[in-house]
Chains A and B, each alone.
Chain A
Amino acid sequence: MLRVRNLSMRYPNGKLALSDFDLTVEAGELVVVLGGNGSGKTTLLRCVTRTLQPSSGEIWLGEVNLAELSGDKLRRARMKLALISQHASLVRRSSVLANVATGSLGRHFNLWTALGRVPADELAAAHGYLGEVGLASLAGQRAGTLSGGQAQRVAIARALAQRPDVVLADEPVASLDPEAAQEVMRLLQRLAHTEKLAVLAVLHQVDLAYSFADRVVGIRAGHIAFDTPCASLSREAVQGLYVSEAA
């Protein structure tokens, strides 16, 4: 479970990107965050992964407050948090299987893994995760030869290899065609509903939010505009997110 409490982020230039932000994502739930450009969606994810140090607030990953951690404690805690970004960020010259298996490296620090190898049981598990995203047949192929949709599914398999409690997805379908986007969203939904992970996805595609989300959170100017189950989400509320401040 992921809980964000009173999270605020003010950039050095004075811009307040998030203000007293509260959000909870339960295990088994797919929450989609919607909002216009510059509304604070990506800042939220960067604060949760602690690639940005929030100005104030708490980020609870289970019983651990990530906001208080640093160094090796933060590294260990982050292993329970997987990030799928807009671009799959695979090592293009490595095989698909090797890319998936790197998700397990945080659990295995020894001479073997330091020399670029992966334990055999993790390779076998990685093969299984590739099967879950429907790409087992491409295990030996170079990651650089994959299509955008395939690469994103490999990134999801890598996230599974990490064995996280929480999966964050930052515009995971932004560069995909509609069919591939549907497939990736189906997989994220399955992570939530079948694997019982807490999944938080930032999207720009409102229709995908309607189709796959359990809950939708709207952000406007760093504040929560609404936080509602998908079934009760109105089109007007969503449209309100994309009306410029000046209008």
Chain B
Amino acid sequence: MTAHIAPLPAAAPLASWGRAAAVALRTVLILAGILIAIQMLVVVEAKPQDLITGFRGMVDIVRRSWPPDFSKLPDVLWPALQTIDVALFGTVAGVILAVPLAVLAAANVTPSRYAYYIARGVIGFTRAVPDIVWALLFVTAVGLGPFPGGLALAVHSIGMLGRLFAETIEHMDMAPIHALELTGARRVQVFTHAIVPSVLPSLLGIGLYRLDENIRSSLVLGFVGAGGIGFQLLTAMNLFQYRQVSLLLIVIFAIVIIAERLSAALRNRLG
């Protein structure tokens, strides 16, 4: 005798409806993707023929850039140092200001909800405004030169570092903090003896990564009058001194690569 298993009458229509819905959803998604791609090409006015017509001009620029004018190297060293120091200033000032803000903005250690929301607001605002906009504002306020560049990077770094520092503190192991609180230690002692040692390597790693980023940003800030090698590059391009431009690009490449490698090596040692 064979056992008879009754079929589930509703199962088959349900399955076919599910398949139809999945196919419809996939079609809608593909159509939406195509529409987004088309509007993107229209909005950016992408014309491949411009690349072909501009090729001759690009070859001409490359030809006029060669060989780099190494006789100008001594004149480039000071702006190069300015670029590095603007980044260093912005990073150090950013770290100093971001640490207390991060403590206020970390939900697990903040002393009050008001402090938390205010700190989060400051971090969000300084991060949302791009560093180049901060540089334009500070150039207007304090004049041309590397100082407004350093200020711009410092303010923008507060936002970037503050958020990452706060997240690092929020993810730390709270058990040593609770243990220290129970010994009768005060809040500031808990901070310096338990929180700082626990998160310091992560904070230094984030700070080094930020320095690496700030060196790249510092190059660009020179374009808006915030000093450094970026300002030199803009001037050389405006004067059609392409051999000097190629020298500056080589120096920029060297600075970026050295900063990146140094930052990565130091972060590895901290890890």
Contact = CB atoms under 8 A, between A and B. Distances in A.
Q: Do A and B bind each other?
A: yes
A105 B180 contact: yes
Nearest to A94: B197
Interface in B161-185: 173, 175-176, 178-180, 182-185
Given A89-B176, A158-B183, 16 more contacts: A51-B178, A81-B182, A82-B182, A83-B182, A85-B179, A90-B176, A91-B194, A91-B198, A93-B198, A93-B200, A105-B183, A109-B189, A115-B192, A158-B179, A162-B183, A162-B184
B176 A116 contact: no
Contacts of A85: 175, 179
Nearest to A82: B183
- Dominant SS at the B interface? helix
Given A75-B184, A102-B185, A109-B186, A83 B197 contact: no
Interface string A53-68: 0000000000000000
A186 interface: no
B193 interface: yes
5 contacts: A75-B186, A85-B179, A91-B176, A105-B180, A114-B188
A142 to B, nearest CB: 10
A109 B183 CA distance: 13
B192 A114 contact: yes
Given A87-B175, A91-B197, A78 B184 contact: yes
Chain A interface category by residue count: 20 to 34
A206 interface: no
For the complex of A and B, list the 7 residue pairs with the smallest distance between their C-beta atoms, beginning with the closest.
A106-B184, A79-B184, A116-B192, A89-B179, A89-B175, A105-B185, A94-B197
Contact of B185 (A83, A94, A106): A106
A6 interface: no
B24 interface: no
Interface string B126-145: 00000000000000000000
Given A49-B182, A79-B184, A93-B200, A114 B189 contact: yes
B182 A51 contact: yes
B254 interface: no
Contacts of A90: 176, 179
Contacts of A81: 182
B193 A105 contact: yes
Interface of B: 173, 175-176, 178-180, 182-186, 188-189, 192-194, 196-198, 200-201
A93 to B, nearest CB: 5
Nearest to A108: B189
B108 to A, nearest CB: 15
A113 B189 contact: yes
A42 to B, nearest CB: 14
Chain B CB within 10 Å, residue with most, of A76, A79, A89, A92 = A89
Nearest to B186: A109
B193 A106 contact: no
Contacts of A116: 192-193, 196-197
Nearest to A104: B183
A162 B175 CA distance: 17
A102 B194 contact: yes
Contacts of A78: 182-184
B184 to A, nearest CB: 3
B179 A105 contact: no
A218 interface: no
A103 interface: yes
A247 to B, nearest CB: 35
A87 B185 CA distance: 20
B196 to A, nearest CB: 6
A155 B182 CA distance: 13
Contacts of A105: 180, 183-186, 189, 193
Interface centre among A51, A102, A103, A107 (most CB of B within 10 A): A102
Nearest to B200: A93
B267 to A, nearest CB: 16
A153 to B, nearest CB: 15
Interface in A196-239: none
Nearest to B194: A91
A221 to B, nearest CB: 27
A69 to B, nearest CB: 12
A87 to B, nearest CB: 6
Contact of A76 (B176, B184, B192): B184
A79 B184 CA distance: 5
